[in-house]
Structure 1
């Protein structure tokens, strides 16, 4: 199975306009608006506790580093966090000085070659793939498959919603999001080469934001050989 990069996609045609700028403007208000991250903490504990000690872990869309990069680092793992927002990365460097934090677009990630990040034992992708149009999500999952070592683990979360590149107001800005209903999400993940070994869902109402209540889906996945 191919797992390197967005095969068949021209990165110059991928539209990220406004996404990073919105999170640059939001800054640390994100953690204020989303103070209760129960599902993310539970999934992070699963990832941190299931991986061998000292594993190398990618935090995809690390944001401010809280709670996941901090949680994984405190568990003794070697964390590489990537995000497109310079402001979020600045906050992450303050919050998690022990992590390696890089400004990267998901479409540019690869294990090998110039700028390659190497391979990982685990990946945390909490609410990062929902920032992509649906057409890109299977390619992003195959990219993660290629960056994981055999039997590597993926902790993935999405919001359950039947939407594709849908514009929503978010903390005074506009972002575009995609989602799946849970059966379709499971299938997309399996088609990318992962076994779904566990699943949790949470009803979540953000604090002090114009985003409506949502159902958050968390999948525990293992890379099939």
Structure 2
């Protein structure tokens, strides 16, 4: 099992150069390019219905807040969204006033301390971990594990792809992405202390012509010891 959170990870390896700026530039075009989010909505319903009303949920890489933060707030949950793109955080605040949104890097999330967020009943991480190099992803998962209460739930999505920190054109910008084939993704998630209790996949063709079709993987997870 990997270390707790980012303990033991050389933070000098963290390079977000151009990543936040790309999403600032993309802005509202993101939802236009990805209009159909059936998989995201389905696993969001699973999380929402599996937790007691009024549960505290962290949305990691919240983007514009649509549809996930809005869906969870509408279901009566307390939502805290975090994103490293100030432009996305501004859009989310405007679109989902019933949630709290914070500009913060995933590597800086913590339970305690001056900027500690406390613990959560549930976490959603939809296509946010794919923005990290593979070496960092286990540490990010352990961070999410630590932010969850015992038996807390994680709803996770990734694009199925055997790539590591690979540069791709994306809506007029360039971003770097990582991915796994599904068996390896399950193993990485399990090694981080989660039980995978369900799985689904969707073939997805974005509306934008400069973003290729993809296979989206969704994992229903429960925090283990």
Paired residues of 1:2 and 1:146 also in contact (CA < 8 A): no
**Which residue does the alignment assign to 1:129?**
129
Name the counterpart of 1:14. Answer: 14
Q: 2:197: which partner in 1?
A: 197
Give the secondary structure class of the aligned counterpart of 1:134.
coil
CA distance in 1, matches of 2:2, 2:74: 33
TM-score by length of 1: 0.97
Deviation of 1:113 (Å): 1.6
How many matched pairs?
A: 225
1:111 aligns to what SS in structure 2?
coil
Q: Contact 1:3–1:145 (CA<8 Å) still a contact in 2?
A: no
Q: Which whole-Å CA distance do the structure 1 matches of 2:144 and 2:150 have between them?
A: 12
Aligned to 2:136, the other structure's residue is in SS state helix
User: Which residue matches 2:84?
Assistant: 84
- Do 1:132 and 1:177's aligned partners in 2 also have CA atoms closer than 8 Å? yes
Query: Equivalent residue of 2:139, what SS?
Result: helix
Question: Which residue is equivalent to 1:110?
Answer: 110
Q: Report what 1:166 is aligned to.
A: 166
Where structure 2 has 5 or more consecutive residues not aligned to the other structure, the ranges are: none
State the distance in 2 between where 1:6 and 1:30 align: 29
Is the Cα contact below 8 Å between 1:4 and 1:110 reproduced in 2?
no
How is 1:143-222 mapped onto 2 (pairs within 5 angstroms)? 143-222=143-222
Tell me, yes or no, if structure 1 residue 140 matches structure 2 residue 136.
Answer: no
Please state whether the residue corresponding to 1:211 is helix, strand or coil. Answer: coil
Q: CA deviation at 1:13?
A: 3.4
TM-superposed CA distance for 1:2, in Å, is: 7.4
Label 1:45 to 1:3 Cα distance change in 2 as closer, same or farther (>3 A). Answer: farther
What is residue 95 of structure 2 aligned with on the other side? 95
Q: Within 2, Cα distance between the matches of 1:35 and 1:4?
A: 36
The whole-number CA distance in structure 2 between the counterparts of 1:99 and 1:3 is: 31
Give, in angstroms, the shift of residue 4 of structure 1. 4.8
Aligned-partner Cα distance in 1 for 2:116–2:70: 23
2:49 is aligned with 1:44: no
Contact 2:22/2:173 (CA < 8 Å) preserved in 1? yes
Q: Secondary structure at the match of 1:122?
A: strand
Tell me by how many angstroms 1:3 deviates: 6.8
Structure 1 unmatched ranges of 5 or more: none
SS at match of 2:116: coil
Deviation at 1:12, TM superposition (A): 4.1
Kept after mapping to 2: 8 A contact 1:58/1:81: yes
CA distance in 1, matches of 2:3, 2:13: 20
Q: What is the root-mean-square deviation of aligned Cα atoms in Å? A: 1.2
Q: TM-score, normalised by structure 2?
A: 0.97
TM superposition shift of 1:211: 1.3
